[in-house]
Copies of this chain bind each other. A is one copy, B any other.
Amino acid sequence: MTDSPTRTHWIGFDLGGTKMMAAVFDAGFRPLGRKRRKTKGNEGTKAGIDRIVETIHDACQESSIVPEQLAGIGVGVPGLVDLDHGIVVSCANLGWKQVDLQGELQKRFGCPVTVINDVDAGVYGEYRFGSAKGSRSVVGIFPGTGIGGGFIYEGNIIRGKNYSCFEIGHTQVNPQGNLCGCGRIGCLETEASRLAIASSAARAAYRGDAPNLLAAAGTDLNDIRSGALAEAIRAGDKSIEQIVRRAANMLGSAAGDIVNLLSPDTIVLGGGLVEALPTLMLEGVEEGVNQRAMAGYLKTCKITISKLGDDAGVRGAAAWCEHIQELKTSK
């Protein structure tokens, strides 16, 4: 008879629309190994869960641990999650509806599982280990195809009754603006996301105002990614720099209103666009915040860039799972 191993390690899992990643952390949340796979949402729920399970197994093997050493699994999902039950209520990228991800993974691995929103996981990661480490109050803003947000207050992710909240992408910034995916007009997301920027950039390229972008990426929104925007700016496309700065200013204005509401110690900016253009995005957001926020709150608010990049989500999800277990134990 062999002793069962001590459960000391954690999985952080990032379930993205196109790719998934499992990362193994030791008891001090140092990364041991990781495994990436394509998500293949079109293969359905059952196959999707099998892929997640396989990816976790592979990450364990990569890290020279066995799944029986896992103390818990934290998952971040880009969709609507029933937080109390760990059910993925809907996830457009994956085509999932009402999937009991927590239950399924607990059954397969016999350890606690938490499922949260992917942006919350990223902001929590920055709070625990990154550029917002130890802040009493953190607002995270992650512009990408959409614009996600999260709010950590005194160590907890602020949430709604059933679901995650902080949908900063759907605050209205321009009543005369564009139609948003949510059906309303002029939401921050439809005015200042990477997709909004790409759309303006494509027009500039089409008009001949962004020759470098036109040469490198053309006018197809599918090809105008953060990296292409950054390269075009480096190559001298002033129009693209203006477009990005204007979007960052709008992000900053919305963030400034949030400073007036919540007076956070730290605002952390993350996501692909910010990683590709850190200085321009930071400056642009700061300009916007400075214009909108009240002086007293500005003094105590630091605006910063994500330190952990892709790792923020997996480390945050894993650490949140630990936090929830600690809360349960202390009750």
Contacts and interface: CB of A to CB of B under 8 A. Distances in A.
Interface stretch (A5-13, A30-38, A162-170, A239-247): A162-170
Interface string A253-288: 100011011111100000000000000000000000
Interface stretch (A50-58, A125-133, A191-199, A294-302): A294-302
Interface residues of A, number: 38
Interface string A302-321: 00000000000000000000
A170 B294 CA distance: 8
Contact of A161 (B253, B260, B292, B300): B300
B160 A253 contact: no
A190 to B, nearest CB: 14
A80 interface: yes
A80 B136 CA distance: 20
Contact of A162 (B159, B166, B294, B300): B300
A263 B166 CA distance: 8
B257 A296 contact: no
Nearest to A139: B261
Given A158-B153, A160-B297, A161-B137, A261 B167 contact: yes
A262 B170 contact: no
B165 A261 contact: yes
Contacts of A300: 160-162
A184 interface: yes
Contact of A167 (B136, B149, B182, B294): B294
A69 interface: no
Contacts of A171: 257, 260-261
Give 7 closest A-B pairs by Cβ, nearest first.
A160-B263, A165-B263, A161-B300, A171-B257, A167-B260, A170-B260, A166-B261
